[in-house]
Amino acid sequence: MNIQAMAQDIPVEGEHTMEGVDFITSGDQYLTFLLAQEQYAVDILCVEEIRSWEQPTKIPNAPSYIKGVINMRGIIVPIVDLRLKFSIGEASYLDTTVVIVLTYHNEGNSRTIGFVVDAVSDVLNVDNADIKPAPAFGGCVGPQYIEGLINSENKVVTILNVAHLQKVEQHRLHS
Amino acid sequence: MSIDLSQFIPSFLEESFEGLELMESELLNLKEGDNETIDSIFRAAHSIKGGAGTFGFVKVTEFTHLVETLLDEMRDGRREINSKDTEILLESVDCMRLLIEAARDDEEYDQDKVAQTTSRLAETLGDEPSSDSDNQSENMVAASNVCGYTINFIPEHSLAKTGNDPLFIFSALAELGQLTLSADCNDLPALVDIDPQELYLSWQLTLYTDADEAEIREIFEWVEDECLLEVVPIPDTSNTSQDIDVLASEEEPQSQSTTTKQESLVNTPKSSTETELAQDGKVEDENIPAKAKAKADVGSIRVGVDKIDNLINLVGELVITQSMLSELGNDFDMDKVDRLTSGLEQLLQNTKELQESVMRIRMLPISFAFNRFPRLVHDLAIKTGKKMELVIKGEQTELDKTVMEQIGDPLVHLVRNAADHGIESCEVRLAKGKPEKGTISLDAYHQGGNIVIEIKDDGAGIDREIVLAKAVEKGLIDVNAILTESQVYDLLFEPGFSTAAEVTDISGRGVGMDVVKRNIQSLGGRIQVESTLGKGSCFKVHLPLTLAILDGQLVKVGSETYIIPLIAIVESLQIDNKLINRVSGDMVLYRLRDDNVPILPIYQLFNLATKCTEIDKALLVVVEADGQKIGLMVDDLLAQQQVVIKSLKDNYQQVAGISGATILGDGSVAMILDIPGIIHMALAQAQHAQREKTDGNASVTAEVCL
Amino acid sequence: MTKVLVVDDSNSIRDMVSFTLKSAGYQTVEAKDGQEGLNKAKSSSFDLVISDVNMPNMDGISLCTELRKLVNFKFTPILMLTTESSAEMKMRGKSAGATGWLVKPFNPEKLLATIKRVVK
């Protein structure tokens, strides 16, 4: 699968001095993925792994976008379907459907959550200065989730704020 | 010969601490005429003394000897069991602990305390402490100008029946020097009269050695009562054997018989035997196999090196299995399928053993933390002059070792607090119409993926007004602040807050409770206070249980598998239609003997799709929590197994009705049901439905299937 | 190979005795109290028994008495491990049929030297 190949293309810290390879070290790298036809991206340093879709164990009375939990090497990881969460496209589960597992560290705590997306597409090198604020036109992705927009060739990629994605809304039993 | 005794010291320490704990708890239970208890206390002290002597902890040996003597007198009935002696013994246990800890850490100990207790013990015993090993070493015969001995050895006929064999004695003698011997067979009866089990011979031996007489007598030590033994020194003259021969023949039985009673038990053999032994055996480097099996039901909070070794061994086996399998996988064909199967079986076995060993190390019953409280409360009662007793429940509840180790001190604080601030004096209690004796109870149980430890007292309770006034006085809150009940109680945990009218040396100076709270929070737990003025208080410590194991019943609902803690299950049954009753419209009750148990379909509670919605086709798992029984309707019962509880909170959040998750054998995740939570949910739901009904709405949630 | 039954309720002492004996080439079987010792003795034969006196379930003296009743153990040397060096203790051991005694504390060297008096 091309994800594997792509994953190998992701430069690792410390490899920067590799001979003959010129990495762009200024700015950050982002992993881009597709929700329906739209391009989104997350900070690549947060990406734990990319998994193929598997049916998770349901969490009783959870919101529909929380698909359940899976066992990732002994860790219980919740799975959030971003398409349902943002109401983008159709939540279909195909061979190309993947789960991007993100870990976000915050003051000694870390949280690991898997996000279902339609496909992973590329790794983007982004200069911070090129990130533009998103226009405030609403849309289905709440503004708190959006870090900014970046132009990639002729497309616009929405950079998502991982810290906010990781915040699970408290949900209660219907009562 | 160099056998390194230090390798046995950790296990000696471990069992000594266990012994001390046992002594302490048994002493607290000690009653007049309870010989069995005295016996086991004595045995514990005795073992500690023996071990301490062997491993060179002289101070411990000496001190424990006194304790043992006192216990021995109690055991023999020479001394009555009274509370004064019990107090002294309890104090002695503390001293022994001090001494052993000091020996372990190679540090100084509280000499005053030990000296004090020693003199109290000695006083009780009515004599000065004396060590049993000093007296006899003086009697050694100086053997400076002796070059050997002639020994006349006339054993009784029955000697062999004690298991002694003269030949071994002679070879032991021969190791001391040059031995010649002649047997005397005059006593030998006629062949027909010979009893093959009897010994009819006697011997005359000549031994040239530089060992002293005591060493020789020591060799005969075990037979001296079954024989006539004479040991006559041969003077060391430059003269030759002539004189010696003369001496040997002159020597008469009577001449030395007075010395035969000489004791030489405590002398250690001198260099001659040691050098001999040094050639004899080499200490092998290989470790003795870990004795994990002998200690299957660990009685210790310390993890012994052997257990770690055992784990390492298991990992070693796992690695071997793994490399075997991967080699097999390198060029696999169907001929090798048998080897693959057996390899996989081996892997299964390895993994299982490894898992078990790891579990055993991590989880310990909370009784380890509770053990110290009977003593603490006993001491507190004496110190405060109040009467109180301790009730312990749920001590088998298992808790992660690290959590246990860190919860000990906060619990001590809370118990002290209950004894000091909670329980009133006898007069006050009687005046209030309460029993004279106060009760402090400790309880531990699992609840919703947490372990809850309750410290409850039936004392005065917390006076909110006083707390508020104090907080205002200390500037912790504003005079006009309006606080909820729990906010008031939270003030107790503010740094620098103390409600005791006087500061006592028991609860300290208010530096405790904030530390208690901090410690509990650092474990990821919380503390909750409930109190009724005049009735008592209850401190509930909730601790996470991320590593706890649980015996679970796996059940199926729709496509999902859930785990019901076995401990909550009363029984599981096939539903009998005749026993179903509907009351007040939509409540479905199941008649379980005398009880009417509400039926709660899991699929409804969790909004799941299942084909199994008819009560009479489903199974009922009757569970109980907080005194309330409820029947959980499930599609099917699966296996029972032990599961490791994993928290959902780490990466997600607490889920109502779910105490955690676990990973099943096939790698999938299953949810563990939180029975108290579910009962709570069901009640809330029922009330909700009730309200809707009275509002005139059609029943939405509590529509129970039939 | 000389086979020794080591009976003691203290793990550390038992381990120490057993380890010492093994390193000197003896074969050992361990038991944690008199009852277990007796059971093991019944199912096998030994060249030597070393037993503690104070133990739960069955003490060393009773063990000794019981062993002497077994045909296999009529002449087997039985050594008692004691902390008391009193004559009374020795008499109790003797009358139960013990061969001798080892007074605690003892060190491995002494142990090995002493048992030479009763076994190879």
Indicate yes or no: pTM above 0.80: no
Average pLDDT, chain B: 77
Question: Does A62 contact B671 at a Cβ distance shorter than 8 Å?
Answer: no
| Closest chain C residue by Cα to residue B12 | C12
Residue A43 reports pLDDT greater than 70: yes
Which 8-state DSSP code applies to residue C91? H
The CA distance from A29 to B632, in Å, is 51
Residues B538 and B389 in one domain: yes
Question: Does A57 contact B681 at a Cβ distance shorter than 8 Å?
Answer: no
B343 assigned to some structural domain: yes
Residue A26 reports pLDDT greater than 50: yes
**Tens of pLDDT, residues B193-207:** 888 888 888 888 888
Residues B374 and B407 in one domain: yes
Report the phi/psi class of residue B552: left, alpha or beta, with left for phi > 0 and alpha for psi in -120 to 50: beta
Please give the share of chain B, as a percent, with pLDDT higher than 70. 79
Q: Looking at residue A117, what is its pLDDT? A: 92
Q: Looking at residue B566, what is its pLDDT? A: 80
Residue B44 reports pLDDT greater than 60: yes
Using CA atoms, how far residue B641 sits from A67, B104, B351, B553, B563, in Å, is: 26, 41, 16, 7, 9
pLDDT band per the 50, 70, 90 thresholds, residue C29: very high
Residues B361 and B398 in one domain: no
Question: Does B671 contact A60 at a Cβ distance shorter than 8 Å?
Answer: yes
Q: Looking at residue B585, what is its pLDDT? A: 62
Q: Secondary structure of B55-94 in the HEC alphabet?
A: CCCHHHHHHHHHHHHHHHHHHCCCCCCCHHHHHHHHHHHH
CA B67 to mean position of chain CA atoms:
22
User: Would you say C118 and C2 are in contact if contact means Cβ atoms under 8 Å apart?
Assistant: no
Please give the share of chain B, as a percent, with pLDDT higher than 90. 7
Q: Looking at residue A169, what is its pLDDT? A: 59
Residues B526 and B380 in one domain: yes
Q: Looking at residue B258, what is its pLDDT? A: 40
Instruction: Give the DSSP per-residue string, B394-458.
Output: -TT-EEEHHHHHHHHHHHHHHHHHIIIIISPPHHHHHHTT--SSEEEEEEEEEETTEEEEEEEE-
**Tens of pLDDT, residues B524-570:** 677 888 888 888 999 998 886 655 567 789 999 988 999 998 877 88
Which of A10-14, B189-193, C36-40 has the least mean pLDDT? A10-14
- SS3 state at B630: strand
Residue B133 reports pLDDT greater than 50: no
Q: Secondary structure of B450-516 in the HEC alphabet?
A: EEEEEEEECCCCCCHHHHHHHHHHCCCCCCCCCCCHHHHHHHCCCCCCCCCCCCECCCECCCCHHHH
The CA distance from B529 to B499, in Å, is 15
Question: For residues B561 and B593, which has the higher predicted lDDT (pLDDT)?
Answer: B561
Q: Looking at residue B57, what is its pLDDT? A: 86
**Tens of pLDDT, residues B398-421:** 787 777 877 888 888 889 888 888
User: Would you say B450 and B414 are in contact if contact means Cβ atoms under 8 Å apart?
Assistant: no
Residues B85 and B170 in one domain: no
Kindly list the residues from chain C whose CB atom is less than 8 angstroms away from the CB atom of residue B168.
116-120
pLDDT band per the 50, 70, 90 thresholds, residue B391: very high
Residues B241 and B128 in one domain: no
B62 assigned to some structural domain: yes
Question: For residues A136 and A164, which has the higher predicted lDDT (pLDDT)?
Answer: A164
Quick one: which of A40, A47, A170 has its CA closest to A100? A47
Backbone torsions φ then ψ of B625, nearest 5 degrees: -155, 145
**Tens of pLDDT, residues B25-42:** 888 888 777 778 888 888
Q: Looking at residue B267, what is its pLDDT? A: 41
Residues B354 and B415 in one domain: no
Residues B441 and B478 in one domain: yes
Beta pairing class for A155-160 and A38-43: parallel
The CA distance from B34 to B28, in Å, is 12
CATH architecture of C3-115: 3-Layer(aba) Sandwich (3.40)
Residue B253 reports pLDDT greater than 70: no
Quick one: which of B509, B545, B577 has its CA closest to B672? B545
| Closest chain B residue by Cα to residue C69 | B161
Quote the ipTM score: 0.85
H or E stretch at B216? helix B213-219
Residue B130 reports pLDDT greater than 50: no
B417 tagged catalytic: yes
Residues B381 and B513 in one domain: yes
Question: For residues B260 and C39, which has the higher predicted lDDT (pLDDT)?
Answer: C39
B308 assigned to some structural domain: yes
Question: Does B651 contact A112 at a Cβ distance shorter than 8 Å?
Answer: yes
Residue B283 reports pLDDT greater than 50: no
Compute chain A's Rg from CA coordinates: 17
**Tens of pLDDT, residues B644-697:** 888 888 888 888 889 889 988 888 899 999 887 888 888 777 777 666 666 544
Residues B432 and B514 in one domain: yes
Q: What is the mean pLDDT of residues B46-57?
A: 85
Residue B302 reports pLDDT greater than 70: no
Backbone torsions φ then ψ of B698, nearest 5 degrees: -70, 150
Q: Looking at residue B627, what is its pLDDT? A: 63
B692 tagged catalytic: no
Measured between its terminal Cα atoms, the distance across chain A in Å is 46
H or E stretch at C13? helix C11-23
Angle of the B83-105 helix axis to the B9-29 helix axis, nearest 10: 160
B138 tagged catalytic: no
B621 assigned to some structural domain: yes
Structural domain for B646, as ranges:
549-694
Tokens representing B67 are: 């304790």
pLDDT band per the 50, 70, 90 thresholds, residue B454: very high
Cβ neighbour number for residue C116 with a 10 Å cutoff? 20
Residues B484 and B577 in one domain: no
B274 assigned to some structural domain: no
CATH code that applies to domain A2-9+28-165: 2.40.50.180
Q: What is the mean pLDDT of residues B259-280?
A: 39
User: Would you say C12 and B51 are in contact if contact means Cβ atoms under 8 Å apart?
Assistant: yes
Q: Looking at residue A131, what is its pLDDT? A: 85
Of B70, B100, B133, the one marking the end of a domain is: B133
Asked if the C-beta of B219 comes within 8 angstroms of chain C's C-beta atoms, the answer is yes
Tokens representing A123 are: 């790794």
CA of B498 vs chain C CAs: smallest distance (Å):
47
**CATH code where residue B109 lies:** 1.20.120.160
Residue B642 reports pLDDT greater than 90: no
Q: Residue A97: CB partners within 8 Å, gap ≥ 6? A: A52, A53, A116, A117, A118, A119
Q: Looking at residue B539, what is its pLDDT? A: 92
CA of C95 vs chain B CAs: smallest distance (Å):
9
**Tens of pLDDT, residues B602-632:** 888 888 887 877 777 889 999 887 667 899 9
pLDDT band per the 50, 70, 90 thresholds, residue B221: confident
Q: Between vectors from CA A163 to CA A161 and to CA A164, what angle results, nearest 5°?
A: 70
Tokens representing B635 are: 């599609």
Tokens representing B430 are: 């009687």
Residue A37 reports pLDDT greater than 90: no
Q: Looking at residue B141, what is its pLDDT? A: 41
B291 assigned to some structural domain: no
H or E stretch at B600? strand B595-601
pLDDT band per the 50, 70, 90 thresholds, residue B1: low
B525 assigned to some structural domain: yes
Kindly list the residues from chain B whose CB atom is less than 8 angstroms away from the CB atom of residue A114.
none
Beta bridge partners of B389: B439
Beta pairing class for A66-72 and A75-81: antiparallel
User: Total domain count for chain B?
Assistant: 5
B278 assigned to some structural domain: no
CA of A74 vs chain B CAs: smallest distance (Å):
7
Question: For residues A12 and B333, which has the higher predicted lDDT (pLDDT)?
Answer: B333
Q: Looking at residue B538, what is its pLDDT? A: 93
